[in-house]
Each structure stands twice: as structure tokens, then as C-alpha cells.
Amino acid sequence: MNDTQPPLSNEQAWAEAPQWGTTPAMSQLEALMWRSERHPRLSSTAVMVELLDTVPDWDRLRAAHEWASRLVPRFRQRVVEPALPVTPPVWAADPDFDLDYHLRRVVLPTPGDIDALLTLAQTLAVTPFDRSRPPWEATLVEGFDGDRAAYLLKVHHSLTDGMGGIQLLSHLHSRIREPSPHKPDPDALAPERPNRLGLAAHGLLEQVRSAPAGARRLLDFTTVALRQPGRVAAEALRLAGSLPWMLDGPPASPSPLLRPRSGKAWRFGTLECSLDELKAAGRAGGGTVNDAFIAALLGGLRRYHERFGVGVDELPMAMPVSLRRPGDAMGGNRFTGALLAAPAGVADPADRIAAIHRAVLTARAEPAFELLGLAAPLLTRVPSAVGALAFGGVGASADLSASNVRGIPHPVYLAGARIDRMFVFGPLPGVAVMAGLVSHVGTCCIGINCDGAVFADTNLLMTCLREGLDEVLALAKPHAGNTRRRRGSTPPQEMQRG
């Protein structure tokens, strides 16, 4: 979403919402995430935590979910596998859809603070989905911070990536606190019971049908190669030179301090800052807001290593990169991954931002960059244990993974409650730390998920990360003039001990 564009009205959002997630079959990448899951070590579950200014009316909240599940068909669809994994799974309307299973209500125990909320969220995150139902669950949490509340939304990554999730929420969250009249009243999907043998047969038939087109593409390539052998040879050499970047393993030596990992003990924490300040810090270092975000994380991890007397120069890092283009259908997953040697040892934050900017540009310029998804069609057809081994190996080669998603720039409401903060906690696909930044109404909401088997003292990790963020934000002061203090009624919090 472009921050300079005016927000959609409720009516415009409702008209566009049914277009979200309408593809009937999973993509190859989505099928790989679904079939390779080994919970929780190779979980593909993400949890969003929204902090609300008041407790929404339960009946109104339930009615909103009932309405949304009819407006956006994907909410009522489950995953159906073909009898043989020759084609990706499909989405089909759940004949036994039960809203009361997917929407829950709990009260936080005293003192009802952010630590208690994050403990609840991380417990929900590592609880596997019932894979026979639509893969999402929502929980209203009362008793948070006195008379406030929180809303937890747990989704499987095969439903959508981060940008697709923001698209969905920007179309479903209301622009006003009051009830919205004249909502559309769509019918619920008719129940579907696809024939699993039929799906497999259809997949095989489609592959047979597509064979002539593949042969034609090969013939066209051969024709070009005969007419322009020098050009084709040059491209082949360029790609061959790039393949080691993708196949040689970690781009930097993994830190011995960030191992061994279990992937089973998820620990959540939050940080926040002004979006304007983080942008200014990025510009001060000759980079972007994303470069400044990564620089803050690396500065924190360097400090963490120093507390244990361990020097660190570079850390292997994984970074999901969106492949969405204007005009792409909403929802789904459109991203690839980049592995880079992250310059954690660069002490000066401005120099670190510049080094990160160069590293990211270099990774994105590799010809093999967009080939990272080519293995997905093969891996979705092999036994799931083999796919899980390959899928998990990618994450295990990195110490840190970080993503940055542009969020909703204007105030939005959930059943009458204003959403003050929006944190997203991604899964731990073998990495030691997963960090996700979502901007929300001018605030950068940073969700940290780390492996409790690695960080025995997660309070220490969060202290170091907060120091790394403060160090980067200090770059904004000469450039932002009269800089505001970091926003937020909820200050940066430390995680509970692992």
C-alpha cells in the first residue's frame, strides 16, 4: 500500500475484498510449505498480535467474523490433497465449517501485561493446526493492560505472505469506530467434497496437455541458440557463475553462539519506533528503511555476542523479498529468498547501513536470485520427509531472518476498538532469530521470535536488540531536526525468560 494514497472507504474495501485469495490451487511454493511442515521445528505458522484501545463487543466481533468469512471465501476453505502428490493441493469449502472453533475468547491472568500476552501468543503459535479445517484461528484477549484488549490472529503461511495479509486486513478492518451500515450480505460458499483421485488424475492430465507447450518453448530456445550462439552462451556462463551463490551453502560462517537449535521453544518480544525516524536513519547511512532495520538487528546481535566475549564479523542472514507487481492478484504468496553475509561486525551504524545496502543490492542482482523457487515443483512431489529436509536446510543455514512489510498508514478499527499496534511473529524455519517489521499509522512495530534453546536469557537478547535500535535511531537526530521521541503507549518490552 502506498502511504501517500488516501485510504479506501469501507464501501471500496468491501467491493475489493472478495478478490483476495481466489486461486483454487496452491502455488508450488505454498504446496512445499504445507507438505514439508514438521511442527513446530519446521512450522509455517505466523501470529499477528493487535493491541486494542478498548475491549470490543463480543457479539459484534463474532458477527464481523461471520460476515468476513462469507465476504472472503478463503476463510471458509480447507486444504484438500490429491491422492498422489503429482499436483499441488486445492482449496475447497469446508462442509463442516464451525466459526466457534476458529474464533475464541480468553482472559489474561493477572497482571495482564505485555509479557503475559506474548506468552499466550507463543503458546498458541506452537500449537499445530487441525489440518482438516481452514488453517486460521482468532482469539480475543481480555484483561490486557487494565481495560484494554488484544486480538491474536494465527494463520498458516500457505494462506498468504506478509504483504497479502496486510492487503486482507486493510480491506476488512473498518475505517470508523461505529457500526457500518449497508454492508454487503454475500452467501456462504456451498460445501465442497473434491474427489482426491480425481484431483490426481486431473493433475496428470494437465501435465500431459502442457507437454507440447514445453516442447515448443524448447524448440524456440534452440532456434535462438542457433541464430545467436554468442548471446546464449554468455547468458549461460553468467548463470553458471551465479549458481554457486545459491548452492554453496551459508554465505558466512554461522555463529557458534547461536547453536544448537531446537526450533521447538518459541520466545516472543516486541520493539517499536517512529517510522519517520527509521527512514531518516536509513537515509543518513545512504540506505533505506529496511537497511536501517537490519542494521539495528545486527547491532543488537553484535552486542549480544560481546556480552559473551565472542567476536563476530559476519552472520549468515535470510531475507524474504517480495515479487509482487502492480496488478497482481491479492493474497497468496509471492516472494523469494535471498541469503547474504550480513555485516554484524561493522561498529559504526551509518557504515553498517551502507554495507547492508550494498549486500542486498548484490544479492538481488544475482542471476540465480529468482531461481530459488525452481526446486519447489520437484520437492512437492517427493516424500514429505525429503521435502522437509530440503526446506529446513535453507533456514538452518542462516542465523537471522528479517522481513519488512508496509502496513496500514491510517487508523482502523475492529468491532469498535481502535487498533493501536500491529505486531507479526513469523515462524522459525531453522533460524535462531526471526524478526518482522510492520509499519502501522507511523509506528514501526517489530516482532521478534527467537529459539529458546539458543537464548537461555531472552531478556538479555531483547536488551541488546533495543540498544541496537537506539543506536541506529540516533543517526536520525541531525537529519530530522526536532525529533520526536519514540512513539507508543506500549514501550519496548523484554521477553520472558526461556
Q: Are residues 322 and 429 in the same domain?
A: yes
176/261 same-domain check: no
Cell of 275: 517510522
| Whether pLDDT at 297 is above 70 | yes
Strands, E assignment, 122-243 = 136-144, 148-156
pLDDT at 211 (0 to 100): 61
What percentage of the chain has pLDDT greater than the value 70? Answer: 79
Asked whether the beta carbons of 35 and 131 are under 8 A apart, the reply is: no
- C-alpha to C-alpha distances, 249 to 175, 210, 372, 397, nearest whole angstrom: 47, 34, 13, 7
On whether the CB atoms of residues 482 and 357 are closer than 8 A, the answer is no
Alpha-helical segments (H) within 152-195? 162-172
Residue type for position 364: R
Are both 161 and 305 inside the same structural domain? no
Task: Write out pLDDT tens, residues 391-418.
Answer: 444 556 899 999 999 999 999 999 999 9
DSSP 263: S
Of 65, 77, 61, 68, nearest to 17 (Cα)?
Answer: 68
Known catalytic membership, residue 157? yes
Domain of residue 162: give its range: 10-180
Residues 278 and 152 in one domain: no
237 is a domain residue: no
Whether 488 maps to a domain, the answer reads no
Catalytic residue among 156, 157, 173, 357: 157
Is 87 a domain residue? yes
Does residue 195 fall inside a structural domain? no
Q: What is the dihedral of CA 39, 41, 46, 52, to 10 degrees?
A: 100
Q: Are 414 and 151 in contact (CB under 8 A)?
A: yes
What would the pLDDT profile of 230-251 be if each residue is shown by its tens digit?
A: 554 554 444 444 444 444 556 7
Which pLDDT tens digit goes with each residue over 467-477? 999 999 999 98
Query: Residue 62 maps to which CATH number?
Result: 3.30.559.10
pLDDT, tens only, 240-294: 444 444 445 567 899 999 999 988 899 999 999 999 999 999 999 999 999 999 9
pLDDT at 299 over 80: yes
pLDDT band at residue 226 using 50, 70 and 90 as cut-offs: low
Q: What is the pLDDT of residue 332?
A: 78
Q: Quick one: 149 and 271 in the same domain?
A: no
Q: What is the pLDDT of residue 300?
A: 98
Residue 327 and residue 474 share a domain? yes
Torsion angle, alpha carbons of 194, 195, 201, 207, to 10: 10
At 394, which CATH number?
3.30.559.30
Last residue of a domain, one of 164, 180, 196: 180
The C-alpha angle 227, 228, 230, rounded to 5 degrees, equals: 145
Do 30 and 156 fall into the same domain?
yes
Closest-CA residue to 139 (of 97, 100, 188, 180): 100
Average pLDDT of span 304-318: 96
Q: How many domains does the chain have?
A: 2
For residues 489 and 480, give the distance between their C-alpha atoms in angstroms, rounded to a whole number: 22
pTM: 0.84
Integer-rounded Cα radius of gyration of the chain: 23
Based on the fold, state whether residues 278 and 164 are members of the same structural domain: no
Across residues 122-151, what is the average pLDDT? 96
What is the C-alpha to C-alpha distance for residues 306 and 335, in angstroms, rounded to an integer?
A: 34
In a domain, 424, yes or no: yes
- Judged against a pLDDT cut of 60, whether residue 375 lies above it is answered with no
Nearest residue to 403 (alpha-carbon basis) of 164, 162, 165 = 162
Evaluate whether residue 22 is within a structural domain.
yes
Are residue 260 and residue 132 in the same domain, yes or no? no
Instruction: Summarize the confidence of residues 308-327 as an average pLDDT.
Output: 87
Q: Residue 219: inside a domain, yes or no?
A: no
Q: Is residue 393 part of a domain?
A: yes
The verdict on 260 and 175 lying in the same domain is no
